[in-house]
Every structure is written in C-alpha cells, then in structure tokens.
Chains A and B, each alone.
Chain A
Amino acid sequence: GEDVEQSLFLSVREGDSSVINCTYTDSSSTYLYWYKQEPGAGLQLLTYIFSNMDMKQDQRLTVLLNKKDKHLSLRIADTQTGDSAIYFCAEISLPGNTPLVFGKGTRLSVIA
C-alpha cells in the first residue's frame, strides 16, 4: 500500500531556513500536501503541489517535488518561533473522496 515517510525531528535557529523532507511510495500520487499541527490544535493546510509541478512558492514557504525520486520537501525561510509545530506530509491519488495518506510528522523546534 501507499506509504509516506518523514524524519521525526528537526531543530533550527530562529532566522535560519528549515527544510523538512518527505518520501512517498505511490507513483500515482497526484497531489502532495503539507499540513501544520500546533500543540493541541487541528491540522492546518499549509500548501500543496500538483504532481506535474516541481516547485511552488508561497511567501516564506517553498515546496520542491522530485517525482523521479518520489521526494517532497518544504522549505521555510526565516524560521520563526511561531513555526514550531509538527509538519505532516500527505499524498492523495485522486482528488475528491479519496483519503489522504499521511506521514508520521516532523516536529520542528525553533531555538531563539
């Protein structure tokens, strides 16, 4: 079945860039997502990329997709303490009523 893998922890200094990585196995993935979960809160959709793109930028966030290697990354520029959270990578094969498949999440700690 589909699987999504992420490293569990990342620690960066405030002001530095963070890069969170994700690999997936499903070659039919059409959309790939990044969700953010702050302590005690739900999942916030941060950004997503369609599989025919290789990059998407949205303010401080840059998503890179290497479809050949099935590798997705999220770069957060000028990381702030408010970016401390768990970041989940997720994928979907067909939009609509097909479920998201999530990774375990990467806990980002930002050191002031």
Chain B
Amino acid sequence: EPEVTQTPSHQVTQMGQEVILRCVPISNHLYFYWYRQILGQKVEFLVSFYNNEISEKSEIFDDQFSVERPDGSNFTLKIRSTKLEDSAMYFCASSGKGGRYEQYFGPGTRLTVT
C-alpha cells in the first residue's frame, strides 16, 4: 500500500541553524501539506501546496519557513533560522485529486532545537 515517507525521523539542531525536512508524498497525489504538533498540543496546519505553488498558509508559516517541490517526488520544508519554539513533530501529508478529501500522513520528523 502506498504511503507517505519522511526523513529524517529525528533531527537535532542548534538555534539559528537551517534545517530541511524531507517528504515523499504518495506518487499520484496532487495536494501536499505540512503540519506540526508541539508536544502535548494540537496538530496545527502550516502550509498547503498545489500545482507548484503555496495555496494556503497559516500564521505560523512566516518568512522563516519555505516549501519546495524540487523534483517530481520530493516535498521539502525549510526553516531558515530555527528557534527553540520550532521544536515539534512535523508531519507531511498528501491527498489525491480523486480522493482529495483523504489526507494521508507520514510518520513525522521530530525536530529538536537546542
């Protein structure tokens, strides 16, 4: 069964450093998303991406964040200068045109900023 994959599973970085979180969505999906979950809190939407551009973003997704689909398979989230409060689990999700109401999530990347 196709699934969303994410790498790395855990990333530790120092404050101020840049990080890139990687995702491989399900191959025939067209809509891509990043969410995050700070420990003990709700899963929060960051950004959605369709047709090679951002279609919606939340207040959390400020200028420090960017997304890219560099090739036909990867979808990345970059945080330019990490802050302590960026420590969270970051989930990638994707959905397809035919089943666009079904968002499938990857296993997440735990980002720890020290």
> A: which residues have CB within 8 A of B?
30-31, 35, 41-45, 48, 88, 90, 92, 95-105
B105 touches A43 (CB 8 A): yes
- Using A97-B56, A99-B48, A104-B41 as known contacts, say yes or no to A45 and B103 having CB atoms under 8 A apart: yes
Give Cα A27 to B8, complex, Å: 38
Known: A42-B106, A100-B45. 9 other contacts (CB 8 A): A42-B4, A42-B105, A43-B105, A45-B105, A48-B101, A95-B95, A97-B56, A98-B48, A99-B35
B102 touches A45 (CB 8 A): yes
Write the chain A residue with the least CB distance to B97.
A96
Residues from chain A with Cβ under 8 Å of B45 in the complex: 99-101
Residues from chain A with Cβ under 8 Å of B48 in the complex: 97-99
> B: which residues have CB within 8 A of A?
4, 31, 33, 35, 41-45, 48-50, 55-56, 58, 91, 93, 95, 100-108
Secondary structure of the B contact surface, majority rule: strand
Shortest A29–chain B CB gap in Å is: 12
Residues from chain A with Cβ under 8 Å of B105 in the complex: 35, 42-45
B106 touches A48 (CB 8 A): no
Shortest B1–chain A CB gap in Å is: 12
Most B Cβ at <10 Å: residue of A35, A44, A97, A105: A97
Residues from chain A with Cβ under 8 Å of B55 in the complex: 97
Point out the residue from B4, B33, B42, B100 that lies within 8 Å of A95, measured CB to CB.
Answer: B100
Give Cα A100 to B95, complex, Å: 12
- Using A98-B56, A99-B33, A103-B42 as known contacts, say yes or no to A43 and B91 having CB atoms under 8 A apart: yes
Shortest A9–chain B CB gap in Å is: 13
23 A-B contacts (beta carbon < 8 Å): A30-B101, A35-B105, A42-B91, A42-B105, A42-B106, A42-B108, A43-B105, A45-B104, A48-B102, A95-B95, A96-B101, A97-B31, A97-B48, A97-B49, A98-B48, A98-B56, A99-B45, A99-B48, A100-B45, A100-B103, A102-B42, A102-B43, A104-B41
A96 touches B100 (CB 8 A): yes
Residues from chain B with Cβ under 8 Å of A41 in the complex: 107
